[in-house]
Amino acid sequence: MTYDVEAIRRDFPIFERTVGEYPLVYLDSANTSQKPRQVVERMSAHYLQHNANVARAMHLLGAESTEAYEFARATVARFVGARSTREVVFTKNASEALNLAAHTLASRLGPGDEVVVSVMEHHSNIVPWQIACQRTGATLRWFDVTEDGHLDLEKAEREGLVNERTKVVSLTWVSNVLGTVNPIAEIAAQAHAVGALMVVDGAQGVPQRVTRVSDLGADLLVFTGHKLCGPTGIGVLWGRLDLLEELPPFMGGGEMIEIVRMEGSTYAPPPARFEAGTPPIAQAIGLASAMDYVSAVGMDAVAAHERELTAHMLAQLDRVTGIRILGPRDADRGGAVAFTLDGVHPHDVMQMLDSRGVAVRGGHHCARPLHERFGVQSSTRASSYLYTTTAEVDALAEALDYTRDFFAGKFSSGGSRARRERRRQLAGEDIR
């Protein structure tokens, strides 16, 4: 079946917007994806027709809401290839899911134990493990990366990074900066060989690729809904049921207990043990709708479209003088492409592109250690998704040419005029 990106775009009303005189070119999907009308309408219908709390009220609305919430859990389980719906825990985002993993697994850590991450991780997969190690006396170690943006597996082997002291390895599946696709199954096998657990940050991988937790070799997998055409406020922790049953609670409150007495409490089995309080009900329903949407498109087709768009983006950026692309040139990589433009700060690049309707992200993308590794303070990142077109990528390259020439002073004969033009551009005014 031919991939009909224009038909897909018709499901996203936001693409009817303009930015000043320019059509909106949204290339910030690694930050958050846009939402199809089907997801918004499904959540609206829940609030307008079925709204009630779950697992508490015995009336009709309560039963309908609970049924929809648990149906969403079943949808997520199918989407990632879980063996049981009890392996799916809803959180408010991927960061909370990673904190849940680090906090509960810390019960297994002590002095002399080691946790392994990588220098390419999002801060959400570094800071929780730093806290866990500080609490327990364990040591945090990490994979370095090569100059072309891959995990430095040879260096890790020479240094014995994963060893008999390793208790947890926690890695991103797909880098949110470099687009690198890490060999998770291979590293998971190394971790399991020494008795360690494998935690996978799938925030960038799950929205773009067919996901089967058994193929990854993961013990825990986290991801978020808002990068998968779903709403904000919903994340997922998938875990092997036998492991979840062994882990202590993350937060205390309603619905995560069996019996509460003043002398002490006993806890509910997973997943309720990890879902204290009123959960993100409408958000879970919206996530399930988003999964239905991308599944109807076909995750294989989404992945193929991402590969095509990313290859086109790399080729177009290579034609822009002064560009340095961070990360690999692999045919199979994620849709995020980070780069620097000689002589122009990424925040200025971002603002100039925005003045021409092109939305990208500038900064360190919650990955400061990785930027330090490559000797840059920050970068600009463009990222595509299932609704992105080659014409939008072309618009990015044209806007970058304009930005480079603007800061090179090619559009004025004096510095003061250049500054005035820049202020007008950033204000969205038309320069004749």
Do 379 and 290 sit in the same domain of this protein?
no
Last residue in a domain, options 295, 312, 333: 295
* Judgement on whether residues 87 and 170 belong to the same structural domain of the protein: yes
Strand partners, 264: 261
Query: Which pLDDT value is given to residue 55?
Result: 85
Amino acid 1: pLDDT: 53
Domain span at 334: 5-30+298-426
Cα separation, 393 vs 399, whole angstroms: 10
* Residue at 181 is within a domain: yes
Domain-ending residue, one of 242, 276, 295: 295
3-state secondary structure of 23: strand
pLDDT at 187 (0 to 100)? 98
Q: Are residues 354 and 268 in the same domain?
A: no
Instruction: Indicate if 179 and 257 belong to the same structural domain.
Output: yes
Residue 176 falls within a domain, yes or no?
Answer: yes
| Same domain, yes or no: 339 and 281 | no
User: Which among 10, 49, 45, 48 is positioned nearest to 289, based on CA atoms?
Assistant: 45
Q: Do 223 and 277 reside in the same domain of the chain?
A: yes
133 is catalytic: no
Maximum distance among all Cα pairs of the chain, rounded to whole angstroms: 79
pLDDT of 330: 87
Q: Give dist(CA 61, CA 413) in Å, integer.
A: 69
DSSP collapsed to 3 states, 135-187: HHCCEEEEECECCCCCECHHHHHHHCCCCCCEEEEEEECECCCCCCECCHHHH
In sequence order, the 6+-apart residues with CB closer than 8 A to the CB of 95 are: 124, 235
Q: Are residues 312 and 386 in the same domain?
A: yes
Q: Which of 280, 295, 310 is the last residue of a domain?
A: 295
- What is the block-wise mean pLDDT of the chain (432 residues), using blocks of 10 residues? 91 97 97 98 98 90 96 98 98 98 98 98 98 98 97 98 98 98 98 98 98 98 98 98 98 94 96 97 98 98 97 97 95 95 97 97 97 97 98 98 93 47 47 32
- β-pairing verdict for 25-26 and 358-359: parallel
Residues 328 and 241 in one domain: no
Grouping H, G, I as helix, E, B as strand and the rest as coil, residue 118 is strand
Say yes or no: 26 and 124 in one domain.
Answer: no
| pLDDT in the model for residue 326 | 97
User: Is 225 in the same domain as 191?
Assistant: yes
Stated length of the chain: 432
Marked catalytic residue, from 366, 376, 408, 418:
366
Residue 58 placed within a domain: yes
Peptide bond into 271 cis (omega under 30): yes
User: Do 214 and 230 sit in the same domain of this protein?
Assistant: yes
Domain presence at residue 431: no
